[in-house]
Amino acid sequence: MAVDRVKKLQGKEVTEKSQEYLSDKKKEDADTVEKDALIQKYVTNPPEKPVTKTGSSGLSKGKISLLIFVVMAFFVGTGYGVYVMSIPANNSTGSTIDVNASAFSTVNNTTVNQTANQTNIIPTNTAVTTPITTTKTTVTTTPSTTTTKNKNKTKTGGSTGNSTKK
Amino acid sequence: MVLVIFLVCAVVFASGCVSNKSTNTTKTYAQNNISFTYPGSWEIVNATSPNAIVAVADPNSVQNGTPTTLVVIQKPDVPAGSDIDTLYTSNYATFFNNTNYQRISDGNITVNGASAPENIYETNTTVNPIQYSAVWLNENGSIYVILSAAQASDFDNQTSNFNIILNSFKLQ
């Protein structure tokens, strides 16, 4: 039909036979060739649209980056936690809390000289450095320390230290 | 998305395991030729007692800046091979003379299969008295005194903590 219209426009005769012609192969072939030629010459196809690339079927870049960050954070955190737990216990005395409780008797060794001078023996009852051996001897020589003037008799008992806690 | 959720859950579960683990551990002290374990919540404190080697205390027992629950390990300056019973007796013959302590009990206990003299005494204060337990140990000829202290009202509760140290004490 398009070919007939073109022929009419060109002023060519349009034989009715061409519209009814089916049995003659030569005319049909010629007609077909002519048709193709005319189509190529006059029928314009719309320009092909550029093939647009479809989006990737997987995760977007942002989601992939987020996933990588979470995975890295997981392993970094786990690794740091294992590292901290594996640090050996610190046995150094970093504490500033002082403890002076003692199981030893703290009689002052200077009682030996009491016969010469009336010394003011002040048993502190706390941390006086008197090893047990010296304590033993003083007991035999000066049986009484009750004569001492206990001016500074400190309270023992909780004697557990001085507060210098940070 | 499923993987992200799984990772988050794994992190949360792992952090819970870490915090749960730290509450039931003990610590070990291994210096100055001795070693012992002590409760994990306790800390090593500065010992100013005469002939003290080390002191550990419960930081949660600090009152007015001083811990009331503590253990001090002392090594008296006596010749090697000294008789522990003689030293023990002579020490406590005078210990209560000019102090504010009152004797509670005096006897022997068994530590790691060996008999050890123990003296228990208490401060004379009426408010929050402190109770002490001094256990004298003879370790291969060397004498060590493990002095445990706690408030009298809490001393029995702390016995298990004191025993951790007593039963694990040994020379290196």
Amino acid B157: pLDDT: 96
Residue of B nearest to A128 (CA): B50
The torsion angles phi and psi of B63, rounded to 5 degrees, stand at -130, 125
Amino acid A153: pLDDT: 41
Residue B98 lies in a domain: yes
Contacts of B145 in chain A (CB under 8 A): 103-104
- Distance (Å, rounded) from C-alpha B91 to C-alpha A107? 10
Residue B144 lies in a domain: yes
Segments of chain B scoring below 50 in pLDDT = 20-22
Question: What burial class does residue B42 get, using C-beta atoms within 10 Å of its C-beta: 0-12 exposed, 13-18 middle, 19+ buried?
Answer: buried
Comparing CB atoms, the residue among B8, B47, B74 nearest residue A103 is B74
Record: contact A132-B87, CB cut-off 8 A: yes
Would you give the DSSP letter of residue B148?
A: E
Going by C-alpha positions, the residue among B73, B70, B76, B47 that lies closest to residue B131 is B70
Amino acid A31: pLDDT: 87
Contact B148, B133 (CB under 8 A): yes
- CATH number of the domain enclosing B164: 3.40.1000.10
Stated pTM of the model: 0.54
Residue B13 lies in a domain: no
Domain boundaries defined on chain A: 2-42, 98-159
Record: contact A103-B145, CB cut-off 8 A: yes
Domain tally, chain B: 1
Residue B46 lies in a domain: yes
Residue B9 lies in a domain: no
Contacts of B5 in chain A (CB under 8 A): none
Divide the 166 residues of chain A into consecutive groups of 10 and give the mean pLDDT of each group: 74 61 76 88 76 62 90 91 72 69 70 39 39 43 46 41 40
Which range of residues forms the domain containing residue B71? 28-171
Amino acid A54: pLDDT: 56
Amino acid A27: pLDDT: 82
Amino acid at A72: M
- Distance (Å, rounded) from C-alpha B156 to C-alpha B149? 11
Record: contact B45-A162, CB cut-off 8 A: no
**Whole-complex ipTM:** 0.80
Amino acid A151: pLDDT: 43
Residue B137 lies in a domain: yes
Amino acid A112: pLDDT: 37
Largest CA distance in chain B: 77
Contact B45, A98 (CB under 8 A): yes
Residue of B nearest to A130 (CA): B50
- Distance (Å, rounded) from C-alpha B76 to C-alpha B87? 9
